């Protein structure tokens, strides 16, 4: 359906970038694109929840840093601290168990949030091909998370009993079965591919996607969130601010679209 330019009143086809008469920059926002912001809002809400959980995990990690054999880590470095035998041997403490449970829950919930982000990009791709790459990225991200959980989870299931027996008497040590090595290697291989897809998907799905959203809706909050998400990989609490910025950027974009629709309605005779 033709839409009227709010500046000169000329009717233009749906999807026009500039008015054919006055060359005023106009980009009509379809209902499908507006619905994409609703999916983006849900992503932002879940992102905020996981960010709060991550900050809680971050605080617990600081509190548990005083425990023997457990060092202090920030962001991704906290994962590395959990991969040494001395840290695993202290995993029976309630604090460490809580940290591990929160980590798993956050990962699952983040996967749900990426599904909504992918849904938003799917709708936007129909009108803006620039969202094709972020859409592919979110697909890789979701597949990568699933593969990482399955692969690394299976590997750790065989590794933990062996590492927990380190330091115990020979009578109480867990026997290492030959088939366990193959299961561990297979799990690490699948998990490694999953982590690679996860990293690639995160870069071109979440980070590039936020930048494309900032360009599409002319909203700088998305770019600010992008920077803070990168920082949160090393310093977890900044992810909470990034989640708030995503929500603010989405809300401001919705208001701007509504205001634009009102202007076009008022310009229509």
Residue-number span of the structural domain to which 76 is assigned: 31-252
Q: Is 17 exposed, middle or buried (0-12, 13-18, 19+ CB in 10 A)?
A: exposed
26 in a structural domain? no
Q: Are 140 and 207 in contact (CB under 8 A)?
A: no
181 in a structural domain? yes
The secondary structure of 66-85 as a DSSP string is TSTT-----TTHHHHHTTSH
pLDDT in 10s for each residue of the chain, 269 residues: 456 665 677 776 655 556 777 766 555 556 777 889 999 999 999 999 888 877 877 776 676 665 555 444 444 444 444 444 444 444 444 555 555 566 667 778 888 999 999 999 999 888 788 899 999 999 999 999 888 888 877 776 776 655 555 545 454 555 555 566 777 788 888 888 988 999 999 999 999 999 999 988 889 999 999 999 999 888 888 999 999 999 999 999 888 777 655 454 444 44
18 in a structural domain? no
Q: Are 91 and 100 in contact (CB under 8 A)?
A: yes
179 in a structural domain? yes
7 in a structural domain? no
2 in a structural domain? no
- Cα three-residue angle 75-76-80, rounded to 5 degrees: 125
Number of domains observed in the structure of the chain: 1
57 in a structural domain? yes
24 in a structural domain? no
């Amino acid at each position: 359906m033709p839409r009227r330019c709010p500046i000169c009143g000329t009717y233009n086809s749906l999807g026009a970038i500039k008015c054919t008469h006055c060359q005023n920059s106009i980009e009509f926002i379809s209902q499908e694109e507006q619905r994409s912001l609703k999916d983006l809002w849900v992503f932002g809400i879940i992102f905020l929840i996981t960010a709060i959980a991550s900050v809680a995990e971050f605080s617990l990690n600081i509190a548990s840093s005083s425990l023997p054999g457990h060092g202090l880590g920030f962001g991704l470095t906290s994962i590395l601290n959990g991969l040494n035998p001395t840290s695993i041997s202290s995993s029976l403490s309630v604090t460490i168990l809580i940290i591990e449970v929160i980590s798993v829950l956050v990962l699952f919930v983040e996967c749900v949030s990426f599904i909504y982000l992918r849904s938003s990009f799917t709708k936007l791709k129909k009108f803006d091909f620039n969202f094709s790459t972020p859409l592919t990225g979110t697909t890789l991200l979701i597949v990568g998370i699933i593969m990482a959980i399955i692969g690394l989870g299976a590997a750790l299931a065989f590794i933990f009993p062996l590492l927990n027996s380190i330091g115990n008497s020979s009578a109480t040590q867990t026997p290492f079965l030959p088939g366990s090595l193959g299961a561990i290697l297979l799990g690490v291989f699948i998990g490694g591919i999953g982590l690679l897809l996860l990293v690639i998907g995160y870069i071109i799905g979440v980070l590039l996607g936020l930048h494309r959203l900032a360009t599409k809706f002319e909203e700088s909050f998305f770019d600010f969130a992008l920077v803070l998400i990168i920082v949160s990989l090393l310093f977890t609490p900044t992810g909470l601010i990034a989640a708030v910025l995503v929500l603010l950027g989405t809300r401001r974009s919705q208001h701007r679209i509504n205001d634009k629709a009102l202007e076009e309605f008022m310009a229509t005779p």
